[in-house]
Structure 1
C-alpha cells in the first residue's frame, strides 16, 4: 500500500466517520439476498454516473488504496462488531459471507500494486473496480456477498473447502505438537530462511486459506451459530492486522523479524488454544467501537441461552424471575 499523503488525512478521517455512521444503518435494513435485478441495474447505473461526473481530484482520493480500506475494511469491521454483539446468528452469517468473498479478494490481489508499479496502465482502473465491487457486496439492496455465496460458494466451492479445512487441520495439529514438543524453533528457522516476499506470502496464506475454508464450512453447517461468530470475530481482527502489516512494512518491513511477528500474531488469532481473536475483540475492538455496553448485554443473552438449555422447561418461568432479581440486586424470598 502506498503511504497516505498528509493532505489526504482529513479526507480519510471524514470518510471513516461516514463509514461508521453508515454502519449503524446497514444492519437495520433488510437484506435482499441479491434477488432483485432492478437494484443491481440501479447500482451499475449509479456507479457509471459517479465515474463520469465526480471530479477527478476527488476520484483520485476515493478510488485509491486508502479509499478501498475505508469501504472494504473500516466499515465491514465496524458492522461485523455490531453483528457479533447482536442476539441471534443471522447477521453473523451475513457478514461472514462478506469476509469469505472480500477477504479472499483483498488479501490475494496484492500483486496489483506491483503490476501498477511496473506497468502503469496494467491496473489503471483496479481500485475503481474493487471499490464498487465491495459496495455491491455490502449494501443491503444489492447484497452481493450473499448472492455470491448462494450461486457460487455453496454450490461449487464448499466441497473443496471441506478438503482444505481437513488438510489444514492436520497441519495445525502438527503445529500444536511442535509447540508442545519445543520444536517450534525449527519451523521458525525454516520460515526465516525464505526470501522476504515468500515470508509475506506465507503470512497471507496462513491468514486466509484455512480461515476461508473454515468459514465456508461454518456457513453451511447450521448448528448453534458459534462457528459463525468465531470466524466473524477472527476476520474483524485479522483484517486490521493485515492492514497494519501492509502499512508498516513500508517502514520496518526490511527488519528480519517483522514477518515472523505477523505470522505469530496471525496464528494467535485463529488457534482455539489461544482464543486470540476473542481476546483482541473484547479488549480492543469493542471499546474502540463504543460497543462495550452491548457486549455486556450480549454476554447476558448467552447466559440466558445456556440456562434455557440446562433448566427443564417447567422451571423456566420461576427460575428466570428469580434470576432477574439477582441481576437487579433484589432479594426475593
Structure 2
C-alpha cells in the first residue's frame, strides 16, 4: 500500500469518533468542556458512553443509567424538537415515544426474569440508542415494521376502551 493511500484511509475508530463529534457539535456545554480539556467532543461522548456501559455491564447503577439513556436524553431531545420549526425531528421523537411505551409495558414484567440474563441491561441501552440515534432511525423502522399495522388494526377497539374508561371515571368521580 502506498503512503498516499495509507494517509487517505482513516482509522475506523477515529472515523466513528469524528462522526459522533459531528453529531454533538451543536451541544454547547459539551463543546465548551471539550475545548477546555483539549479533546474533540466525540471523544468525550464515546468515553462517557463507554464508562456508562461498563457500569451497566458490572451492575453498577444499571437501572438508573438505563433510565437516563432511555428517558432523560430522549425527553430533552423531544423538547429541542418541539422548539425547532422543522417537523422531521418531531416525527422521529413522537415515534420513539410510541415504541418506547410499548417496550416499557412489556419490559416491566419481563425484566423481573430478563435482568438475570447476562448483558440484559447493555443490550437494552444499545437498543434505546438504536431507536433514537438519528442515523439509524430505529424507532421509525420498528414502528413501520411492527407497531403501525397492529395499532391500525386495533384502533377502533383501543378508542372504544379509552372512551369507556373516560365514562367510568366521569360517572364515578363524584359518587363518593
User: Normalising by the residue count of structure 2, what TM-score does the alignment of the two structures yield?
Assistant: 0.58
**Residue of structure 1 equivalent to 2:109:** 111
Shift of 1:136: 1.4
CA distance in 2, matches of 1:95, 1:55: 23
Q: How many residues align?
A: 132
CA deviations on 1:233-290 (whole Å, 9 max, x unpaired) are xxxxxxxxxxxxxxxxxxxxxxxxxxxxxxxxxxxxxxxxxxxxxxxxxxxxxxxxxx
Aligned match of 1:285: none
Counterparts of 2:162 and 2:55 in 1: how far apart (Å)? 48
Structure of greater relative contact order (alpha carbons < 8 Å, 6+ residues apart): 1
Return the match for 1:173 from 142, 159, 163.
163
| Corresponding residue SS for 1:110 | helix
User: Aligned match of 1:90 in 88, 91, 110?
Assistant: 88
Offset of residue 71 of structure 1:
0.6
Q: For residues 124 and 90 of structure 2, what CA distance do their matches in structure 1 show? A: 23
What SS does structure 2 have at the residue aligned with 1:95? helix
Counterpart of 1:34 in structure 2 is none
Question: Cα distance 1:78–1:56, how it changes in 2: closer, same or farther (>3 A)?
Answer: closer
Higher alpha-carbon deviation: 78-87 or 100-109: 100-109
The within-5 A match list for 1:15-164 is 25=27, 59-60=57-58, 64-115=62-113, 120=116, 123-150=117-144, 152-153=145-146, 157-164=147-154
Query: Which consecutive residues of structure 1, in runs of 5 or more, have no partner in the other structure?
Result: 1-21, 26-45, 189-333
Q: Spell out structure 1 runs of 4+ moving beyond 6 A.
A: none
Compared CA separation, residues 184 and 124, structure 1 to 2 (3 A):
farther
Greater mean alpha carbon deviation, residues 65-74 or residues 54-63: 54-63
Q: Tell me: CA distance 1:67–1:171, structure 2 relative to 1, closer, same or farther (3 Å).
A: same
- Helix, strand or coil for the counterpart of 1:86? coil
Contact 2:78 2:90 in 1 (8 A): yes
Q: TM-score, normalised by structure 1?
A: 0.34
